[in-house]
Structure 1
């Protein structure tokens, strides 16, 4: 599989935008991988992941949070890094196979959209990419939450792929590795909160259960991001 090369896009090509685990766990059968961004979306842990595909009792009791790319609406301000990710061009004779694979991997609670993707190096684009986003009309969607409560939940939770905090920290690392400007302030804030919780646990008695998983929903992205600012 190639990671770069000729980035000239044609209308009959199939491109996929990855903003979460697809950054470091790419889809099969791609022949180009390009860092860049899409406009008008925020990256958020707005959706619980159904625990039915895991045998872990802990994961069933405390399902992890899944990442979505959502549209903030209202007058919410988009911060740097919120729409950063990677576009993959899928080999032409493998498109149907990869779409089937993605439907299994991504479709639960997500909606398929197409959006312009802008390569970070400016060599091509915009490129029409498929993206799976979370929308308020699905049963799993939660929307904005208090970030400290969310960090507590992520730290204590587990999903089919392992610990939720490992996913979060892997995402932070993957975003930072794309370019010096690709870090997402929301992901960094959550990661810092999780590291603080982990450090606190290391100093005191081990905690095996969260104190509470009741979230305080905030009313907007602006309110949520205000609580993320360092005090």
Structure 2
């Protein structure tokens, strides 16, 4: 018998959920940063002029790459010195707002196939813990796990464009990314629309805590400036 499906959204899935979702839980991922370092030739750009969409970069990859580390010190760890010991960077230091959707067993295979098409340009499927911050309906509490501290979390499917996929463009200055986004359009619409919709969605999530995505804020500001 097919089991139900949990799927995490950290990009367009936040403001454009997959079909047949029954519940949405807001929360965050630990040990990742969100970056517009994935080129898009099928949704927000074309093969001739790729746009930019988000992916996640893991703490393991960040520690192994000086350019990735510099970007993290510029945004997520802006309060620290770049000369701090990298070994002191913990998963709890890097958190990404997102959401998790639940799809009932009878619709799980349909949604899996839908996502395989939607996330095809360099993304692969992974399983990671998702930490829940929103109210949990009693009817689905049993579907979640609980840590020793009482925090609810779930093991969920997530699509990530890892640093070794063909569409990963690597570290890029936010202003350079903003210029690409401002001038790109694909079958799914304006690249800037994707960014601004995501920025608004994350702003709503940020209003509930002190956790901020300074990288995303800078990118949104730069694109708005370029549009004037």
Structures share a fold, TM > 0.5? yes
Identify unmatched segments of 5+ residues in structure 1.
1-11, 200-231
Question: Which residue in 1 is equivalent to 2:52?
Answer: 65
CA distance in 1: counterparts of 2:7 and 2:27, whole angstroms: 12
Question: Which residue in 1 is equivalent to 2:119?
Answer: 106
CA RMSD of aligned residues (A): 2.4
Q: Normalising by structure 1, what TM-score? A: 0.72
Q: Normalising by structure 2, what TM-score? A: 0.73
**Residues 124-163 of structure 1 mapped to structure 2, 5 A cutoff:** 125-163=152-190
Question: Which residue in 1 is equivalent to 2:8?
Answer: 17
CA 1:104–1:184 in 2, change beyond 3 Å: closer, same or farther? same
After the TM superposition, list the runs of 4 or more consecutive aligned residues in structure 1 that deviate by more than 3 angstroms.
Answer: 58-61, 74-78, 121-124
Alignment coverage as a number of residue pairs? 184
Partner of residue 35 from structure 2, selected from 44, 51, 55: 44
Deviations 1:159-178, CA, capped at 9 Å, x for gaps: 22111111111100011122
Deviations 1:121-171, CA, capped at 9 Å, x for gaps: 475621011000111222111111121111111111112211111111110
Identify unmatched segments of 5+ residues in structure 2.
64-68, 77-92, 137-143, 145-151
CA distance in 1: counterparts of 2:95 and 2:185, whole angstroms: 24
CA distance in 2: counterparts of 1:173 and 1:127, whole angstroms: 25
Instruction: Please state whether the residue corresponding to 1:108 is helix, strand or coil.
Output: coil
Greater relative contact order structure (CA < 8 Å, 6+ sep) = 2
Judging by fraction of residues, say which structure has more strand: 2
Instruction: Please state whether the residue corresponding to 1:145 is helix, strand or coil.
Output: coil
CA distance in 2: counterparts of 1:179 and 1:74, whole angstroms: 24
Instruction: Please state whether the residue corresponding to 2:100 is helix, strand or coil.
Output: strand
CA distance in 2: counterparts of 1:37 and 1:193, whole angstroms: 25
